[in-house]
Structure formats: C-alpha cells, structure tokens
Amino acid sequence: MKLYGINSYNTRQNPVFTERPKGEKIQEFKDTCNEAFDYLGIKNRAIILHGSCFPSSGPDIGLGSPYSNDAQDLTKEFMIYGFNAMQLGPTGEISSFDISPYASKVFAKNPLFINFKELTKPEYACILSKETYDNITDLHKVKGKNYNYSNFLEAFENTDIALEEAYTTFKIRLMSKDRNAIALNREFTQFKEKSKDWLVKDGIFKILSKMNGTDDFNEWENQLDANLISRLEKGDRVAVKRYNQIVNRSKDKIEKNSFTQFLIDKQIKANKEFRKANNFVYINDLLVGCSKADVWANRDAFLEDYEIGCEYGGKDNCPQAWALPVLNPKRLFKQDGSLDIAGQFLKKKLESALEYCENVRIDHAMGLVDPWIYEKDSVYTSNGVVRSIKGNYMSNLPHIDPEGNYRNILDRIVLPTLAERGVKPEDAVWEDLGSQTDVFKEIYYNKCHLPGITQLEWKQGEKAGRNDTTIIGSHDSNPVRLMDLNSWNKDYLAGFLKPDPAKRQEHDEFLQSIKTNPTELVKAKFVELFRSSKNIQISFADFFGIDKRYNVPGEMNKTNWKLRINNNYIDTYYKNLSSDNPTVPNIPELLADAVQSKIDMTVAKKNDSNQQEAAELREQLNAEKQPLIQHLKELAAFLKKPEPEQDNNLDLVA
C-alpha cells in the first residue's frame, strides 16, 4: 500500500492516511469538472483566499503566503476540481498596529509574504543562513482541526530578524564580488528604477513614523515632515533641504526597505510565471482606500477634512466611519481633460494591482462614483458605535465636487486602465453591495453597464446577472453552515433546481429533503451557485468545511483576519469527504446535480410552449449529457470512499 497526503514534516508525527485523486485520476477529475463547468457556462471559478490564510506544509514564520511553494501546491489541488482563480485580499504591506489587509499600502507589498526558505538558496546568494531560517520558523500544527490561526506578532518579529540578516549578508557578499550576489544586485537595480516613483518615499515615511512614534502624520510634531513630499514637489527649498537631509542620514535604512520590496517583488514574479504556465489567475483586491503612507506621499490628491464611510450598516444600523481617505474631486482631471494628481494616483493604483495579478476586484464600487463622505471632526462614538456624524453623498455636495468629476471616474480612468491591461469589465469582480444612490445607479448600471455581486445568502441565483460574480458568502460572512438557513426560500430552491414538470415526484421529494435536512439544504445552495452566473466564488472556509468566521466587519476581536487553512489540509479535507457526515462540498456531486438541473430548466422552458417538443428535448439532452453526469457521480463516489486501513508497519515516505 502506498501512502498519500504525507509531507516531509509528517515524519515528526503520526502519519495520517487518506484516499485522494492521484496520477491519471487527477487529469480525469480536471477534465470532467471542467467539462461540467463549461456546460454550465461558468467561466471564472475562484476560491476566496486572502494571503495570510494559505497553508504551509511545514515550518513557517506564523502565517501563509500566496507566493510560496505551498501556494502552488494548493493551486494544483483547486485545479483538480475545475477552479481557475483565487480571489486574494489586498496584497499591500500592513503594520503591526492594524493587520487588516484593507488598511494596507497601495504600492509597497507585504514582506510577511516572503518565502524565506528561498533566501537560503544560491538564486538569492544564500543571504539567509539555514540556522536563522530554522530559528524564525516553527511548525504551527493544530491537531484535530481543519483550520489554524495566523500569529501576526510572531510573523512581524521573525520577518524583521530575517530581513536584517538578509540585507547585511547581501551587502557583504556584494562587496566580496560573490557571483550570485552580483546577479541579484542587477535585478535589484532594475527594480529600483522601475519603482522610483514611490520606493524612496516609502522608506522615508517609515523613518519619520518611527521617529514620531506613529504613522499618523497628522500627529507629527514637525509639520514640514507631515507635508514634506507635497512641498518638495512644489519646489519648496526648505523641503528639498529636509528631504536630502533624511536621505543622506538614513541612506542605508532606505536601501534596506527598498531591498525588502525587491525580494517580495521577485517572488511575486516567480509565482506569476507558475500561474501563467497553469492557466490560473490571481484576482487582486483594489481596496477603495489606501494607507496613511500613500496619503502622505500624495497629500494633494486627497481631501484634508473628509473621510469615506457608509451611511448605514453599523451596529444598530448606525453609520460607519471607515476613516478612509477621499480623492480630491477637483484634482481628478485637468482643464484639458488629462489626469490631474488624484486621477494619476488612482490610475497608478489600479495599474499596480494588475501588475502583480491577472484580474482585479473593485472594492466598494460606490466609492468610485458617489461615496458617502463625512467630516473627520464630526464623529461621535459611544461604546464603539457611531452615534453622531455629519456626512452626505458626494453628489449632494456641490461645493466639494462642483464639476461632478466623481461621475467620470469609471469611464475616464478605471475602464480605460482595465482595457490597457487586457481585462474585460465583465470578467472583473465589481463589489456593488450596500446602499446605492440614484446617481450611482445611473452611472454604474445605465451608462457603464457594469455587473455586480449576487450574494446567495440573501438573494436568489436566478436573479443574478449573467456577468455578475455570484457568491454564497464573502470574506466578511459567516461560513455557509453558520448562516441563517431558516431564511432561505426552500420552495424557490426546489422550483429553480427541480423545474421539470415531468419530474414532479422528484421535485416534491427534493423539497421535503431540504426542508428537513440542513446538510441537503446547504448542498442545494451550492448547486444554486453553480446555476447562477458565469463568475462564481467560494470562500476557503466553505471549501474546507471550516465553521469559523474570518472577519466580522466593524467589530474588533482577537480572531479577525487570522483564520487560516491548516497545514495538514490534504488529509483533513479528504477524510472529511469520506466521512459519514461530510461538511465539505463534494464538487463532482454538486456539478452532476447542477448539470441535470440545467437540463431540466431548459426542458421546462420549452414545455411552456410545446409539450411534445419538450419531451423530445428532454430525451435528447439526457442522452447527450448522461455520460458526463454519470462520470461526475462516479468521481463523487470515489471521494466518498472510506479511508484505507492503516498499516502501522509501513515505512514513512518523504
């Protein structure tokens, strides 16, 4: 008997035995699932998985990385079941004060995602010793659970230790004319030239933040430092002198920060080549806001006294004060129609997102058309809840946006930039959830004809637009099994999924099963997902049957943004699939039901006009698709096989 699902680190634990697709079976799964998705018209099939949530097959610094070897292994696992994309969160650098990816930087990428093991190899001039690598990594194993939690504080500390040694060793090896270091330096020089618009500024901001004890530049004692870049770009001689002083005094620190960004850039590119070879896509998340560092470096692009929030949706349905910067409407476009500083910033922001990923999610599309903004100093909170705030929609504030420039952001900046990068609007993910104004509806739907998100937690799949992205839940939702199942319309589900009037008994039995069996109801919800739009997404928690929430919006708690796939996910996933009460979706089984459901719907629509033709169509389609349905059912049965008996006398295989 051969062992499956055993990685090298398992030699330190008791082995776990699982049955899983292997060898030629993998291609059989791929071909069959892809054929089903193609018949269902589902073009983009993504797993929602933020960067820190990726698993590790062995020791790591405390969290996952979308650019690691383990990320590639996980990608291959998802591809077995026909998925061709992963929806990441924003991938920018975060601070230890706020680990939310939606508070990350626009241009500087997250050093926590560096695969430090690679730095011990000749390609990176062995700039990190194996001893240090062993000291900063650990096996974060949680036995008996299908999830883990990231340790961000540990990751920040480990990253600082590793990067200090890596940069110091790099300089030493470069001085000694080490051939690998010289080659690495050539790449580093090219990166600095490509990134010169933001790279040095980012290093300076870190120095000034540390000097002032905060990254909130509004609290800095030296107002020259708080407005340094703005005054520098206006040719202010005092600012020029101060800028040069900082650069000359802290040249090595700035260079180290640049080197850090180079390392993560290099690894992102390597992973991108892997994705290209496998026809797999990463979807970057274009957060509607940006970090304080980005605002500091582009102060004239933003309003000083306003921030973006939401009129409703907070606790007790109170307003939400998001504390996100607002692009200055008066600096979006110049008189000649070209982009002004705010417009240039937004364009570069989108270009940066698409440089590192093949597709993009437009976060809070409302914020690019008619955002709800509030005066910073007007916020009054009680017990963490916004009780009073002075805010309004941009379209109702003509003194802020007299030319109505926000209404032109989509068709003059966003859509042209997507086109330049080869991304069709119907393939991008457009987050249009939440309250909407008439101005937004006119621009977004009527003028630009853009899709949105259909969330099946609240809406019905048959109402999804063809180009919508359909989800059951997002990164901000409960896992599907913790949702309010009683709120779902079972009669609608039965009618939508079992619509053929010639199969009335089957419809009735199905309706009874989803009314009485929560497991069958959840399965029906996944089938509904596969019968909705051409773009679908499933959260990693739902794919792996995790019953924990990744993020609770508007709430500060100890586990927000920390949920993670466990490092033994292969074993726990297949063991779950083959159990008596699986909590993970059996993808081939769901696809078989979805294919049959589409056939039945096609027949039902024909039946409305001609019953005889409907009967002939039923026979034809069933004959054509029965081999596919049968094959899917066979694959589903394969995944339900019980675990092979354990043979404790077997030797471990690395």
User: 75: domain CATH number?
Assistant: 3.20.20.80
- Percentage above 70 pLDDT, the chain: 95
Q: Indicate if 262 and 307 belong to the same structural domain.
A: no
Distance CA 367, CA 372 (A): 7
What is the structure's pLDDT at 645?
57
What residue type is 215 in one-letter code?
Answer: D
Both tokens of 24, joined, read 């030629």
DSSP 301: G
Q: Do residues 537 and 471 lie in contact, with contact meaning Cβ atoms separated by under 8 Å?
A: yes
Q: For residue 236, is it within any domain?
A: yes
CA-atom Rg of the chain in angstroms: 27
Could you read off the pLDDT of 53-85 as tens digits, one per residue? 999 989 999 999 999 999 999 999 999 999 999
Q: Which helix (H) or strand (E) holds 29?
A: helix 24-40
Q: For residue 415, is it within any domain?
A: yes
Q: Phi/psi at 642 (nearest 5 deg)?
A: -70, 160
HSE-CB of 82 using CA atoms within 13 angstroms? 28
Structural domain span for residue 146 = 41-277
Neighbours of 494 (CB within 10 A): 21
Distance CA 88, CA 454 (A): 18
Q: For residue 212, is it within any domain?
A: yes
Q: For residue 179, is it within any domain?
A: yes
Stretches where the chain sits below pLDDT 50 are 1-17, 647-654
What is the structure's pLDDT at 9?
31
Number of domains observed in the structure of the chain: 2
What is the structure's pLDDT at 646?
52
Residue ending a domain, choose from 449, 479, 512: 449
Q: How much helix, strand and coil, in percent to the nearest 5, is found in the chain?
A: 50, 10, 35
Could you read off the pLDDT of 297-311 as tens digits, one per residue? 999 999 999 999 999
Could you read off the pLDDT of 108-158 as tens digits, one per residue? 999 999 999 999 999 999 999 999 999 999 987 777 899 999 999 999 999
DSSP 470: E
Residue ending a domain, choose from 245, 277, 309: 277
Q: Indicate if 314 and 388 belong to the same structural domain.
A: yes
Query: How buried is residue 402: exposed, middle or buried, by Cβ count under 10 Å (0-12/13-18/19+)?
Result: exposed
Q: Indicate if 410 and 335 belong to the same structural domain.
A: yes
Q: Indicate if 134 and 264 belong to the same structural domain.
A: yes
Q: Indicate if 337 and 439 belong to the same structural domain.
A: yes
Query: How buried is residue 279: exposed, middle or buried, by Cβ count under 10 Å (0-12/13-18/19+)?
Result: exposed
Q: Indicate if 318 and 426 belong to the same structural domain.
A: yes
Q: For residue 578, is it within any domain?
A: no
Q: Indicate if 201 and 304 belong to the same structural domain.
A: no
Q: Indicate if 256 and 331 belong to the same structural domain.
A: no
Q: Indicate if 263 and 192 belong to the same structural domain.
A: yes
Q: Indicate if 242 and 159 belong to the same structural domain.
A: yes
